Amino acid sequence: MTGEFKEQRKGERYDTEVEIYYNLAYDLETRVEYKVLEGQKYHDKGKKYRAVSKNVSIEGLCFSSVVPLERGDKLEMEVFVPNSTKPIKMHGEVRWCRKNNESSSDETYCAGILIEKVEDKPVAETIHYDDNYMIKWSIVLESVLGSYRIISQQRDKGT
């Protein structure tokens, strides 16, 4: 975990609370998935951890989890948004992680994740400024928030 926290935000954060399941990805070009056959059942040996998002931005998200992560850890994530039947697959890198300051009986950590890919599409290629709604947007925001944020801002501006 990193000690001192330095603000490096590039865009606005939007509060969210979506469920995330993640595992540590190996930094290899070739990925091997395996299952162990025991009797008639398959058992997946990949350990997944649960987290809950706190906020999302054009190229990242912040989540709370019981697992301390290290800067540079690569994550494979499944993000479950409301009213969706399947998770959104994301790949990212831990930029920072620290203990939550919130008082709780459980020890939890807050981590900032730079999202590199959403459904295998590079995030950097999707970042744009929407002139109509005067907002920075990306595949990360579209995946998590949908067009709700744009519609909401349009309504708030009275256009």
Query: Half-sphere exposure (CA, 13 Å, Cβ side) for 33?
Result: 5
Interacting residues of 141 by C-beta distance below 8 A, sequence separation 6+: 14, 56, 57, 58, 149
**Of the candidates 92, 106, 159, 100, which has an alpha carbon nearest to the alpha carbon of residue 131?**
159
Looking at the chain, the whole-number percentage of residues with pLDDT higher than 70 is 70
Pairing between strand 121-122 and 74-80?
unpaired
The answer, yes or no, to whether residue 2 has pLDDT greater than 50, is no
Asked which of 61-65, 84-88, 135-139, 150-154 is least confident by mean pLDDT, the reply is 150-154
The mean pLDDT of 63-76, rounded to a whole number, is 94
| Residue 57 φ then ψ, to 5° | -135, -175
The answer, yes or no, to whether residue 28 has pLDDT greater than 50, is no
DSSP state at residue 123: G
DSSP state at residue 82: T
The answer, yes or no, to whether residue 109 has pLDDT greater than 90, is yes
Note whether 52 and 135 are within 8 A (CB): no
**Of the candidates 109, 80, 77, which has an alpha carbon nearest to the alpha carbon of residue 18?**
80
In the chain, where the domains are located: 14-28+41-157
CA dist 148 → 54, 94, 143, 144 (Å): 17, 27, 11, 10
Q: Domain 14-28+41-157 falls in which CATH fold? A: Thrombin, subunit H (2.40.10)
CA dist 62 → 46, 50, 132, 144, 158 (Å): 23, 13, 28, 13, 31
pLDDT tens by residue, 88-98? 999 999 999 99
The answer, yes or no, to whether residue 39 has pLDDT greater than 70, is no
The mean pLDDT of 62-81, rounded to a whole number, is 95
* pLDDT of amino acid 106: 72
The answer, yes or no, to whether residue 156 has pLDDT greater than 80, is no
Looking at the chain, the whole-number percentage of residues with pLDDT higher than 90 is 54
The mean pLDDT of 57-84, rounded to a whole number, is 94
The answer, yes or no, to whether residue 13 has pLDDT greater than 50, is yes
Average pLDDT of the chain is: 81
